[in-house]
Amino acid sequence: MAGSGSVQSVSSAQFEALISENEIVFLDFWAEWCGPCREFAKVYERVASQYENQVVFAKVNIEEEGELAEIFQIRSIPHLVVFKQGIVIYSEPGSMRDSILKELVEQAIQANMDEVRAELNKDTN
């Protein structure tokens, strides 16, 4: 899926730089043989094209990048993980409609990371 529209394929080697160099990253874990993944890819591409100057949309093929799938404990696909300022703010399996994905993008853009960090600190203390 490399080079398709505004969604880029990501390898384990590129992952750290992608997350650290971008404010918001949506990461879709998928596989070629997965029918629901192919359907979600159409939604993902459409929404990505509407937010290409605000959010990075990327894909990880779990067949090629098993290490990343293991790190994020991906057990079913498609599985969407959203990062903001390097912190996972969303991680759920399953496909979604355009309107739901757009709502998730808007929530990610508006997420108050001071509140997220405070909540994370509270959970670890």
Catalytic residues: 34, 37
Nearest CA to 4 among 21, 24, 28, 23?
A: 28
Which runs of E-coded beta strand occur in 17-55?
24-30
Measured between alpha carbons, how far is 27 from 101 in angstroms, rounded to an integer? 12
